[in-house]
A and B are shown apart, each in its own frame.
Chain A
Amino acid sequence: METYSIIFAIFLGGAVLTYFAGKLNSILQDILFLGSVLVPTYLFFSGVSFGSAMPFSLEGISLLWGIDHYSWLFALIVLGLGSLAAVYAIGYMKGKERKGYFYFNFILSVMSMLGIVVSQDLISFFIFWEIMTWSSYLMVIYNGKDIQRVGIKYFVFSAIGAYAMLMGIVIVHSITHTFFIEDMIQAYGHMSLQLQIWIPILFLIAFAVKAAMMPLHVWAPGAYSNAPMAYTSLFSGALSKMGVYGMVLILVTLVSRLPQGIWFREVLAWLGGITAAVGTLWAIKQDDAKKLLAYSSVAQLGYIITGVAIGTELGMLAGLFLAVMHALFKGTLFMAVGAIEKQTGTTNFTEITGLIRKMPWTFLASLMSIIALAGIPPLGGFVGKWMLYESLITSDHYLLVILIFFASTAGFLYCYKFLFGFFLGQEEKEWEHVKEAPATMVVPMILMSVFMFVLGTFPGIILKPINNGLMDLGFVDSYKHLWETSVIFNNWGDHVILQPILYSIIAIFLFFLILVVWKGYKGTRYVTTKDISTSGEVPKEDENLTFSVGFTQPFLRAVAPVMRRQIDKYYTEFAKGLEGLFEFMRRIYTGNAQTYALYVVVFVVIVLLFKDVLF
């Protein structure tokens, strides 16, 4: 298959050319950058066919690239979001430094993610996995902020995951003597029970790290918020989905054939639920939009993990549908934050207020994604969450459903905080100069909002590819009788049974939208100063009186005991302990020649003494 070679050659060559084009001309660089993301995307969707694979060999290892319907779904997420984020990045990166560096890593990230989904063998899978890790690491340290802590933490966790996977890979290879994923699946049934348990664990560690699942999530908040927002939308939207991709693959093809596999599923589902709950609580606490969305990403991935870990047909559908939705709405939200950051220079709720009339399109996109995120009809998030609840209930996970429901409801708090903090409320003089972001940034956001809306009404558009993908993984075809498994569909995805209700809601929604916009423009009442009631107290000069300060405090006080235990602290303590140990190791080398000579003598004597044992 020539197409694969061409696609990856364009990615690689494009990345290098784009990097160096910056030395010549900035516009040429932008064009090259767009070209090296969009051209391969076009080639992939027009030229690559299912079932045809490209075998080749490197260093005596046979490799195989090809796609099935399951990987096509993730290729869609990667390339779709990648293309839109690329367009957005042109606007976002205008006038910023290290543009070539950003573009280079952006292209490499998209390439490596596509590489992961087309890999049919473990070695190219691992190679692309690692390229993805280091290219995203280079993005995390892009701002140079706190890199020795946040950046290294991200890389260390990724490396732990990747090396666990590598260990799994070489163990599988020592049994099957090939690296093909197909052969691993074939041979899995004949392995010893010990290996049957350990191999999925080793792989799942790698995928759980990338999907930021508890307790391996501690890298995520820092990494998501430190990377430039144009990249974070891809980072949180698509890159974290690679973890989900691998997880589903391992769960369905390996774990499901193990009688003890039920424990894997339960543990994963619960970890996903806990991740969702804790992530949500932490998101509520944040005053910085980047951090808020970062924690929210962790939480949302928790829902997805729960869905796929339940492993019933409906659970899988829910998880994968939510994965697509999450790519859309979280991608949009990070883009919106990026736009606000670019226009105002800050992302802190306690500083910015009342942007609704200055950035109406950004507001609209944020509103849509918030609705989708919160799971309110009629947007796609609702369908996904409904399916998730239903799959949990039908598989008798009542406690889990309470947990998820708690997380989901608490999630409204940060959703509201995001919308209200940035866009609503009093306008301040400080932000009068703010303009709407340039079109290259707004258009991708609006496009994605439209997709979210469409998927809410016609979820079949994306449920059909998901169903095809699941069939490739070995599930039965649920097309045309999904209504048997879920109450919201009366027929396969063509429409939703609640449609009359839905459309009335849409009508009301539109009505209020128009009303709000109209009112906003007409302007009934302008409040330019901070007219906050201070209950008789005279506020001091430096007191921050923005209404977002101390938002949701009563709630946070109520859940404070839960949040006091931070797993991050334990990791830090552990790392400190290790450094102390290493310091001790270092002192073995005293720098004293006599000591070194003594070492030699001791070594020779010990080896001579124990020679019968050793040889």
Chain B
Amino acid sequence: MVGTPVLFVAIPLLAAFLIPLLGMIWKELVRIVPGLVLMYLMVLSINLLNHVLVSGPIVEVIAGWAPPFGINLVFSAFSGFLVTLMIFLGLVVWLYSYRFKRNVGFEPAKKYFLLLMMLITGAVGIVLTGDIFNMFVFIEITGISGYGLTAFYTGRDSAEASFKYLMLGSIASTLLLLAIMILYSQLGTLNMAEIASKIHTVNPTYKVISLILFISALGIEAEIFPLNGWAPDAYAEAPGPVGAAFAGIVVKASVYAIIRYIFTIFDISGAYSFLIIIGMMTLIIAETAAIRQDKLKRMLAYSSIGQMGLVLVAFGFGTEEGVFAALFLMLNHAIIKSLLFLSGSYLVYNSKDKKIVEVNGMHKFLPITSFLFALGAFAIVGLPPFAGFWSKLSVLTAAADSHMLFVLALVLIVSVIELVYYLRVVNRIYFFKKGENVDPKKPTFNALLAMIVLGALILVIGFYPDVITGVIHKASADLMDKTKYINDVLSIKQ
């Protein structure tokens, strides 16, 4: 063992506080330190994940108070998988924006990296924590850094987007707090495992209301329709890498929270079909809205929302197969959508409106970026032999095995819509004439490297999915085994 789960929260938080101080010593440190921190965490998470896959979850007790009284962190196959994914994406985003933000000046860069570290701290904390109030705190941390990052370009539009995010985010906090209160008043404990073991004693009405409030609150962060009004604006106005971070890190954490509540904490079976309903609604509305967008990032945002809807649908099947499909989809979505956001923001780099028409003919000026965008587009709509195909296949297989043929047909119909709007953009990049006053910007070396890493991953997973499916299988088995989670946590004696 080279480290403990608490480092995932402690180190980035510490780094976030140190960044302004280090900036006084040497300005470049502001950019370097987050990278070093994330690299260390990446190594740590891979080590821990390997350890966990072999010898079972690590439960870390904070401050010597054993569960159920103290706060505990759980690094299991499921949460470890998500943490590794988030840290990896954080690293990619850092690599991408290392020089991206150079021309922005020292002050904004300092804030940017500080907020990014906070964002990762919060998101990782949500996934690791074993305490619902602690989770609330981490959600707040994530939210606040998210508001800040959305308003990074201090313009009118980004301020407005940030305000919308903030407004809905506060509603989410209120609802969440209310939900926690109800549970606490009924059970007198905040520890997830403890709640899970006692949940059957709670009056069903309280239980259901509490769950509804949880889902509504977390659904705002997880971009569930109709709670996701903030998302398109925030994605469109925030810098490209932040969009990638939202799609890859923040939303994943929120979906994790929803899933944890439904699968582990509560024992309400109707919640699964509810997941399917809201997931399908999100998927259909978002994808149909995406096809009529004229701004690139906004289109990507809607597509991202739609994909998360599909993730929820896959979770909603409630089978291990469904969970596997959902996790696989989350992984692919994190990789591919990040690639699309990262390459897409270079395609419309110097444009004011970020319109889709402005990507016309970009392949002559940005050949690699355009290629990677096209690769991402092909992968996300699930064309073989790219990564997205395997996750889509597993979702569909899971749907058929759960005998949800209607859902299956709808998902496929929506896929056709998705195909149309992505191909339209790719056609524009490659076959249209460049507009007169469009001024392409060459990506920096770091940015290119970050995108190529993601592109390579798409191909690797596409041609040989077995590299990752073993881990996902273990992660999904881990999530399905509720009793083991309770036992693992509650058996800890300090």
Q: Could you tell me which A residues sit within 8 Å of B by CB distance?
A: 58-60, 123, 126-127, 130-131, 133-134, 141, 144, 147-148, 151-152, 155-156, 159-160, 163-164, 166-167, 170-171, 173-174, 579, 581-583, 585-586, 588-589, 591, 593, 595-597, 599-600, 602-604, 607-608, 611, 614-615
Contacts and interface: CB of A to CB of B under 8 A. Distances in A.
Given A171-B405, A586-B292, A615-B274, A151 B232 contact: no
A615 B424 contact: no
Interface string B215-252: 11001100000110110110000000000000000000
B397 to A, nearest CB: 5
A163 B175 contact: no
B32 interface: no
B420 A167 contact: no
Interface string B326-365: 0000000000000000000000000000000000000000
Contact of B419 (A148, A155, A167): A155
A608 B212 contact: yes
Given A170-B396, A615-B268, A60 B385 contact: no
Contact of A147 (B289, B291, B431): B431
A588 B302 CA distance: 12
A582 B427 contact: no
Nearest to B212: A607
A596 B229 contact: yes
Contacts of B420: 152, 155-156
Given A127-B384, A159-B419, A170-B397, 12 more contacts: A60-B469, A127-B385, A134-B383, A152-B424, A163-B412, A170-B396, A174-B403, A582-B291, A593-B168, A600-B220, A614-B273, A615-B268
B224 to A, nearest CB: 9
B427 to A, nearest CB: 5
3 tightest Cβ-Cβ pairs between the two chains A and B = A596-B229, A615-B270, A170-B400
7 contacts: A141-B427, A144-B431, A163-B412, A164-B412, A166-B412, A604-B212, A607-B215
B209 to A, nearest CB: 7
Contacts of B168: 593, 596-597, 600
A600 B227 contact: yes
Interface in B400-428: 400-401, 403, 405, 408-409, 412-413, 415-417, 419-420, 423-424, 427
Contact of A615 (B164, B219, B271, B416): B271
Contacts of A58: 464-466
B399 A596 contact: no
Contacts of A599: 226-227, 229
Nearest to A123: B393
A588 B289 contact: yes
Given A134-B383, A581-B288, A155 B423 contact: yes
Nearest to A133: B383
A603 B389 contact: no
A410 B270 CA distance: 63
B82 to A, nearest CB: 20
Contact of B270 (A59, A164, A614): A614
Main secondary structure of the interface of A (DSSP, over half): helix
B134 interface: no
Nearest to B170: A597
B16 interface: no
Contacts of A126: 384
Given A59-B469, A581-B288, A600-B168, A589 B423 contact: no
A365 B124 CA distance: 69
A596 B164 contact: yes
Contacts of A159: 415-416, 419
B397 A582 contact: no
Nearest to B289: A586
B384 A173 contact: no
A205 to B, nearest CB: 12
Contacts of B212: 604, 607-608, 611
Q: Which residue among A59, A127, A579, A588 has the maximum number of chain B CB atoms within 10 Å of its CB?
A: A59
B285 interface: yes
Given A59-B390, A147-B427, A607-B216, A600 B226 contact: yes
A586 B293 contact: yes
A583 B291 CA distance: 8
Contacts of A608: 209, 212
Interface string B273-291: 1100100000001001101
B320 to A, nearest CB: 13
A35 to B, nearest CB: 22
A614 B211 CA distance: 12
Nearest to A127: B384
Nearest to B277: A614
B397 A174 contact: yes
B453 interface: no
Nearest to A138: B430
B285 A585 contact: yes
B216 A600 contact: yes
Nearest to B284: A585
B137 interface: no
Contacts of B175: 604
Contacts of B209: 608, 611
A577 to B, nearest CB: 13
Contacts of B220: 600
Contacts of B430: 141
Contacts of A171: 400, 405, 408
B100 interface: no
A59 B431 contact: no
Given A134-B378, A593-B164, A595-B229, A583 B292 contact: yes
Contacts of A614: 270, 273-274, 277
B458 to A, nearest CB: 15
Contacts of B416: 156, 159-160, 163
Given A60-B469, A144-B431, A147-B431, A593 B396 contact: no
A586 B277 CA distance: 20
Q: Which residue among B384, B416, B417 has the maximum number of chain A CB atoms within 10 Å of its CB?
A: B384
A194 to B, nearest CB: 11
A607 B163 CA distance: 26
B476 to A, nearest CB: 12
A582 B288 contact: yes
B310 interface: no
A604 B389 contact: no
A60 B393 CA distance: 12
Contacts of B385: 127, 131
A568 to B, nearest CB: 17
A291 B276 CA distance: 47
Q: Which residue among A131, A599, A600 has the maximum number of chain B CB atoms within 10 Å of its CB?
A: A600
B465 to A, nearest CB: 4
Contact of A604 (B216, B288, B378, B400): B216
Contact of A603 (B216, B413, B424): B216
B208 interface: yes
A152 B285 contact: no
Contact of A148 (B160, B219, B291, B424): B424
B21 interface: no
B423 A152 contact: yes
A583 B215 CA distance: 29
A575 B383 CA distance: 23
Nearest to B374: A138
B167 A597 contact: yes
B226 to A, nearest CB: 4
B253 interface: no
Contacts of A589: 229, 232, 289
B475 interface: no
A163 B415 contact: yes
A586 B301 CA distance: 13
B299 to A, nearest CB: 11
Contacts of B431: 141, 144, 147
A170 B400 CA distance: 6
Contacts of A173: 397, 400-401
Contact of B423 (A123, A151, A583, A597): A151
B183 interface: no
